[in-house]
Chain A
Amino acid sequence: MTRRKAAFAITCLLLTAALCLLVARSVHLPGGLGEPQYIRELASRTGALNLVASIYLDGRLYDTIFELIVFSVAVLGVRFYLSERRPSHRPAPIPESHVVRASAEALFPFLLLLGIYLAAYGHLSPGGGFAGGTVAASGLMLCSIAIGADAVARRIHRPSLERLEWALPLTIISLAIVPVLLGRPPLAALFPPRGGGGIFSSGSILLYNLLIGIKVFIGSWVVVHGFIEHRGEI
């Protein structure tokens, strides 16, 4: 290691140790959040039992919409840069053992269902659209390990997938604008909260969760499929 690198490493370590021992002790966020009154307020705003969901899908919906846009653009970038370079030859798909295929067959519907459940019940229990979409995408990935990404891609109607991929963020954005047409402030909840802890109790949080879940599912699958096409079967 050159002397410059060693000096950098030592400085880094010393700074980290200093931060840990001296500064971090006194980090203190102002109170007022997490106290029972705030929680009660949050709970009664929307009918959602999951307070985290009621923050990022109702109070801070604006941020979530933009984060979704960032995700879409990143996926678009991945697909664009990968499509420019097609490898000249691709290794043949790897025939998987029966164990993998059988377990994929058994697990895939379960994973898909788990993803849908996490997204749909995101306002009642931990989970939400992001976790649900990811779990469903890993189910699809398990399938592509078992039978090959080509076979999986053939079963998916590609143009509908691409249309859906961009229809979803547009839907979400327009959902944010629709309340304006109805005379309410933008980003307000479309369906009034009903309370009671049922599935329809939280109004539009359910809708947003499902849309986000589908978007994350499609986006992750596009990324993984692009990588597999580019680098060979896994």
Chain B
Amino acid sequence: MRTALFVLLPVIASIALVQRRRVAALIGMGLLSFTLSATYALQNAPDVAMTEAAIGAALVTTIYVLAIRRTGRLIVVADEAPNLLARKGERLVGLEYEILEGFARELGLDLSIRFLPREAVEASLLAGEADLAAGGIVRSDDPRFRATAGYLATSLVRIGGGSRGPEPPYTGYFSELLESIREGKEITATLDLARFIEAMRSGLTGFELERLPGEREYAFLVSRKREGLHAKLEGYLRELRVGGKLDEMIRRNLR
């Protein structure tokens, strides 16, 4: 029995410490602590065994779990926007992604982006399921949200006629919209510049195009209740602008 335990100790230690995830390593070390306690007990050291069990199992594991965990997440809802917030295989790329990532890092939070259909983005923000809304949202005077100051100029193009009312710019995911364009179906949408360019690349012909007048800007939306978050994001954007990093990021992402 003792021999088995002596052989088991390095085995458990090796298995515990080659794990990739920290939580797995921690659990393995807790197991090692228990095995050590059994070893001490079988080596006629009852005091040591008891103390090791109490410390290794409860206290050390708790402290590590508390130290390992992330303190919070910054939840962003968005629909994909080419060059601004897009998936490239497994990764996320884009101007907005870089801004949001830097912001989350500054707050000490993890960035968590959820992709939703365009019409659900604002609803989700209103429902309090997210902290921010992003994804090529054009700044408007919607009283339900606080918009940050614009970070990039853009313009709106109306496709398919009709007047632009208070309804969402388009329905569904942007990728679905691109699919419909490629198949030549009829669509009505109000696209911002980045999406419009991508739509043109997918062969947007034969549609009625109307450029809506006026200067627009891209912005992020924050719910009315999160004043502090809004102020911090404004401050962060201002920092980026003043430092020139925003221009650099724009140049990098939008050729």
Asked whether any CB of A lies within 8 Å of a CB of B in the complex, the reply is yes
Binding site for B on A (CB under 8 A): 50, 52-53, 87, 89, 91, 118, 126-128, 130-131, 134-135, 137-138, 141, 220, 223-224, 227-228, 230-232, 234
Which 3 A-B pairs rank lowest in CB-CB distance, beginning with the nearest?
Answer: A126-B46, A138-B58, A134-B54
Contact between chains at B47 and A127 (CB < 8 Å): yes
Name the CB-closest residue of A to B63. A227
A87-B71 contact given A126-B47, A127-B47, A134-B54, CB 8 Å threshold? yes
- B1 lies within 8 A of chain A by Cβ: no
Smallest CB gap from B53: residue in A: A131
- A residues near B69, Cβ cutoff 8 Å: 231-232
User: Is B8 positioned at the interface, with any CB of A under 8 Å from its CB?
Assistant: no
Contact of A91 among B54, B63, B66, B72 (CB under 8 A): B72
Contact A227 B67 (CB under 8 A): yes
Assuming A227-B66, A231-B69, is B58 touching A52 (CB within 8 A)? no
Which residues from 44 to 59 on chain B have a C-beta closer than 8 Å to any C-beta of chain A?
Answer: 46-47, 49-51, 54-55, 58-59
Do B62 and A131 touch (CB < 8 A)?
A: no
Partner of A137, one of B47, B49, B59: B59
Asked if B65 is at the interface of the complex by the 8 Å CB criterion, the answer is yes
List residues of B (62-106) whose CB comes within 8 Å of A's CBs: 62-63, 65-67, 69, 71-72
By secondary structure, the A interface counts as helix
Q: Which of B47, B50, B65 has most chain A Cβ within 10 Å?
A: B47
List of B residues within 8 angstroms of A138 by Cβ: 54, 58-59
Q: B182-215: contact bitstring with A at CB < 8 Å (1 yes, 0 no)?
A: 0000000000000000000000000000000000
Are A130 and B51 in contact, with the CB atoms below 8 A? Answer: yes
By the criterion CB–CB under 8 Å, are B50 and A131 in contact? yes
A118 engages B67 (CB within 8 Å): no
Q: Which residues of B contact A231 (CB under 8 A)?
A: 66-67, 69, 71
Q: A131–B54 contact, CB under 8 A?
A: yes
Given A227-B66, A232-B72, output 13 extra A-B contacts at Cβ < 8 Å: A87-B108, A126-B47, A126-B49, A127-B50, A137-B58, A137-B59, A138-B54, A141-B58, A220-B59, A223-B63, A224-B63, A231-B66, A231-B71
Question: Interface on B for A, CB 8 Å cutoff?
Answer: 46-47, 49-51, 54-55, 58-59, 62-63, 65-67, 69, 71-72, 108
A234 engages B65 (CB within 8 Å): yes
CB-CB under 8 A from A127, the residues of chain B are: 47, 50
Closest to A232 in B: B71
B58 adjacent to A50 (CB under 8 Å): no
By a CB distance below 8 angstroms, the chain A residues around B67 are 227, 231
Which residues of the partner chain A approach B62 to less than 8 Å between Cβ atoms?
141, 224, 227, 234
CA distance A128 to B55 in the complex (A): 14
Residues of A contacting B59 in the complex (Cβ-Cβ under 8 angstroms): 134, 137-138, 141, 220, 224
B71 surroundings in chain A (CB, below 8 A) = 87, 91, 231-232
Known contacts A138-B59, A224-B59, A234-B65: does B72 contact A131 (CB below 8 Å)? no
In the complex, A232 Cα to B51 Cα: how many Å?
28
CB contacts (< 8 Å) of B49 on chain A: these are 126
In the complex, A228 Cα to B49 Cα: how many Å? 28
- Report the minimal beta-carbon distance from B22 to chain A, rounded to whole angstroms: 14
Determine whether the beta carbon of A50 is less than 8 Å from that of B55: no
Which single residue of chain A is at the shortest CB-CB distance from B51? Answer: A131
Chain B residues with Cβ under 8 A from A89's Cβ? Answer: 72
